[in-house]
Amino acid sequence: MRSLRPLHVLVGSVVIAAACGDDTSATSQGEDSSSTGVDESSSSAAPGDSSSSEGSSDTSTTAIADDSSSSSGELDESSSTGAPNNPPIAIDDLYAMVMDDAPLTVAASLGVLANDSDPDGDPITVAGFDALSSAGGTVVVEDGGALTYTPPAGFWGEDGFDYTIVDDDGATAGAHVRVMVAPTTVSLGSVTDGVGGFMIEGTAEGDQAGYSLAGGGDVDGDGLADIIVGAYTADVEGNGEGRVFVAFGKSDGTAVALLVVVEGTGGFVIDGIDDGDRTGYSVAHGGDVDGDGLADIIVGAYTADVEGNGEGRVFV
């Protein structure tokens, strides 16, 4: 049997060789079906014809068309490599604005897609978003990531909304957008109404609740910072012992009445000991002093008597 000799193979072509007795046929595809250095008379040789001479060949070559190839003869590149599609990656965003400059308008170049990506390099677009923000503002996000946010009237503080992105293969991912709305002026009347905060009300005449304040620690372990309010002239038994109120943190804007805290709702009370101690003249969060995982409270009673001479006391 004669060995097979591919005569001329193009890049991207396929050569199929089969032996037929002593003769060989070869079929190739490509845009050039010619073979150099071959006696062209061999192209008419029939299979089974054993006649040959040096310099000639019994090999026939035929150019065939492939439906999957382009008109240039090269194979089309597939839009998919066959590997599983990786979902896009959506990353949270943060924007800031001043309430008087509403609405907030962000171009696509800085929009929600600016820090999102697709591991496969596929295009990504916005597939959905919250039309209303957490605080009740209006949100419009375009396919390309541009957004317009309008906060509620009189609102300031942190707001937010969610959005979803999608790639060309339908895979999705979601992220959250935070919007910080800064006030230009803050009306305490608005805070009284529960907008942008809440109010804490004293209990009795002359208590001077709020003379001292501290905040930032989580006393009750609920994940929210609590507030310490000193009322150093408050009467416990009618003689200016002083009081300290611990109001638990909360997320709504309803007012906190310290009278309710006295009853054990929404916090607790620390009462001074003796007449004229002025407990609560100074207050502070002391961190976690005893290592129990909860913030501790420091209370000053600067006129308290230790031996009867106003030495003062500090309570933790």
Secondary structure class of 48 (helix, strand, coil):
coil
Per-residue pLDDT of the chain (316 residues; tens, 9 = 90+): 444 444 444 344 343 333 444 444 433 344 444 444 444 444 443 444 443 434 444 433 333 233 333 333 333 333 455 789 999 999 999 999 998 888 999 999 999 999 999 999 999 999 999 999 999 999 999 999 999 999 998 888 899 999 999 999 999 999 999 999 998 876 777 777 777 678 888 878 888 888 888 886 888 899 988 888 888 888 888 787 888 888 888 888 788 888 888 888 888 888 887 887 788 888 888 888 889 998 888 888 888 888 877 778 888 8
Looking at domain 93-182, its CATH superfamily turns out to be Immunoglobulins (2.60.40.10)
Q: Is 280 exposed, middle or buried (0-12, 13-18, 19+ CB in 10 A)?
A: buried
pLDDT for res 246: 86
Are 298 and 283 contacting, i.e. CB atoms less than 8 angstroms apart?
yes
pLDDT for res 216: 67
DSSP code of residue 89? B
Sheet of strand 212-215: strand arrangement: 212-215, 227-231, 243-247, 267-271
Cα 18 from Cα 12, distance rounded (Å): 20
3-state helix, strand, coil in the chain (%, to 5): 5, 35, 60
Cα 311 from Cα 303, distance rounded (Å): 6
User: Distance of CA 267 to CAs 60, 222, 240, 263, 289, Å?
Assistant: 97, 12, 22, 9, 20
Cα 73 from Cα 76, distance rounded (Å): 9
What's the pTM value of the predicted model, to 2 decimals? Answer: 0.47
Residue 86 tokens read as 């990786």
Annotated domain spans of the chain: 1-77, 93-182, 190-315
